[in-house]
Amino acid sequence: MPLRSPNFDLYLVTDRSQTGGRDLLWVLERALEGGVRAVQLREKDLGGRELFVLAEKTKRLCERYQANLFVNDRVDVALGVDADGVHLGGDSMPVRAARELLGAEKLIGVSTHSINEASEAEREKADFILFGPVYFTASKAAYGEPQGLGRLKKVVEKISLPVYAIGGVKAGNIAEVKETGVRGIALISAVLSASDPRAATRRILETLAR
């Protein structure tokens, strides 16, 4: 059955370097036990074969918890493991090209860092966007200064697509992020670096549900 609209509030993005030396799949399973229902596999340093093997394992893990798997950038890997969709960045193929390859039933997310990029993703018929970095975070420093809550709110008001806030989002600032009207949040370290990823996930989801 086509997804075509994201059915999750929390979008967990992976980064093996932020697990504190723990196996990524172990951390992901704890997060899935805690309630994560969407994972973006984003391991840019891996070659095609290594990424495919990891994606296969992640897909099986996500299926056990009825969670959606998105593969960052690599449409070929997403197709190969029958992921639920892909996530595209500024250097990725255009949304329209990805759609031709993936078909109508897969979801396409796009990372955006300005109102213009968000509008372009909407024109290209992406299914949802990430906007950020909202706050400063080392992992997103390459994308420029923090956008802040004001710009996030403008994007939410102008763009009809579901918008997920990313960049420095954690349990302590979720409430003010929610006030902008976002569909949900995307994050990395608040879960992957937590000493107890399952408990951290539950706390975040409880805050989102308030």
Give the DSSP letter of residue 93.
P
pLDDT tens series, the chain, 210 aa = 345 789 999 999 999 999 999 999 999 999 999 999 999 999 999 999 999 999 999 999 999 999 999 999 999 999 999 999 999 998 999 999 999 999 999 999 999 999 999 999 999 999 999 999 999 877 656 667 899 999 999 999 999 999 999 999 999 999 999 999 999 999 999 999 999 999 999 999 999 998
pTM of the full structure: 0.95
Which DSSP state fits 144? -
CB contact set of 27 (below 8 Å; sequence gap of 6+): 19, 191, 192, 197
From the options 3.40.190.80, 3.40.605.10, 3.40.470.10, 3.20.20.70, give the CATH code of 10-199. 3.20.20.70
Directed axis angle between helix 48-64 and helix 24-34, to 10°?
A: 30
The whole-angstrom separation of Cα 32 and Cα 191 is 11
The amino acid sitting at 196 is: D
Q: Nearest Cα to 90, choosing from 118, 57, 59, 62? A: 118
Strands 163-165 and 184-187, by their bridges, are parallel
Which pLDDT value is given to residue 79?
A: 98
Between CA 86 and CA 72 the distance in angstroms is 6
Instruction: Give the residue from 90, 89, 87, 86 showing the smallest Cα distance to 102.
Output: 86
